[in-house]
Amino acid sequence: MNLIMFGPPGAGKGTQADLLQKKYGYAKLSTGDMLRAAVAAGTEVGLKAKAVMASGGLVSDDIMIALIRDRIAQPDCRGGFILDGFPRTLTQAEELDNMLAEEEIRLDRVIQLKVDDAKLVERITGRFSCKKCGAGYHDSFKPTRAAGVCDECGAGDFVRREDDKAETVTSRLDAYNRQTAPLLPYYASRGVLVAVDGMAEIDEVTRQIDRVVGEVEKFAKNG
Ligand code: ADP
Ligand code: ADP
Ligand code: ZN
């Protein structure tokens, strides 16, 4: 199963992609995570991306397409992948189509998480993650089970993203509305777009996505 998790910043793409990865073993391709790793490592890509990310804008299509081209060719993607945060522009979507066509890989579904702007701000400003294993949390909506201890790995150090500040959120939502939301008709016209109520609780969103994945698999089996 090859999926795109689509939606504005804070919609729950990463959270749901993590759950799908755990449940089905699909490779999770998060361009945000890749860029943050590049910034931390001080690579050439990282140096170019750093200021753009801090301002809430989009990193150039050339950089993003090269990153995904390398990643999607890795053998672990052959068992299925979930794109989280890519594509974000029409150029990226078209280049992705070309890449997949070259490799004869099908894009099964684009899952759109629909969430109101006010809720997105709440989600983003309360987001934090485990420094050691990357598990994602939220101050109010998904706190750790034991205070200060990661559910997944037991570590006690947490981080907040520099761009998860109320000031930057507006630019990021703006970038989404102007550059990324126009991809919705692109995917709708290909018959792969499915909308999910991203306002629901995490478990309920997962159930909705599971239904979508189940239907695609049933269809594939029955020819
Ligand atoms: P995205 O990857 O789309 O930016 P995340 O998956 O990181 O979004 O989610 C943003 C924040 O909201 C995180 O702190 C996460 O724990 C929380 N969150 C995700 N999905 C939900 C949900 N359905 N209800 C409440 N909070 C959620
Ligand atoms: P969120 O989880 O809030 O949607 P991401 O972690 O996906 O945010 O991305 C963080 C930042 O990295 C974006 O604001 C943008 O600057 C950059 N970025 C990530 N993916 C892309 C992409 N496909 N195209 C351009 N910029 C990207
Ligand atoms: Zn952890």
What does the pLDDT look like over 151-165, one tens digit per residue? 999 999 999 999 999
pLDDT at 206: 98
* % the chain with pLDDT above 70: 100
Class of residue 12 by CB neighbours under 10 A (exposed 0-12, middle 13-18, buried 19+):
buried
Rg of the chain taking only CA atoms, in angstroms: 17
Alpha carbon of 220 to ligand 1 centroid (Å): 30
Helix/strand/coil for 58 = coil
Whether 190 is catalytic: no
Distances from the Cα of 91 to the Cα of 20, 88, 144, 216, angstroms = 27, 8, 39, 27
Mean of per-residue pLDDT scores for the chain = 96
Burial state string for 154-176 with b = 16 or more CB within 10 A and e = fewer than 16: eeeebeeeebbeeebbeebbebb
pLDDT at 15: 98
Ligand 1 atom at minimal distance to the Cα of residue 115: 23
pLDDT at 223: 61
Could you list which residues have their CB under 5 Å from ion ligand 3? 130, 132-133, 135, 150, 152-153, 155
* Ligand 2 pocket member 192 (CB < 6 A): no
Ligand 1 atom at minimal distance to the Cα of residue 136: 16
- Which pLDDT band, with edges at 50, 70 and 90, does 222 fall under? confident
Per-residue pLDDT at 34 exceeds 70: yes
pLDDT at 158: 98
Which one is predicted more confidently, 32 or 218?
A: 32
- Structure token digits, residue 199: 């306002």
- Which pLDDT band, with edges at 50, 70 and 90, does 221 fall under? confident
Whether 13 is catalytic: yes
Which pLDDT tens digit goes with each residue over 87-112?
999 999 999 999 999 999 999 999 99
- Which pLDDT band, with edges at 50, 70 and 90, does 219 fall under? confident
Contact 126, 138 (CB under 8 A): yes
Unique residue bearing structure tokens 């579904």: 109
* Angle, in degrees to the nearest 10, between helices 202-221 and 13-24: 50
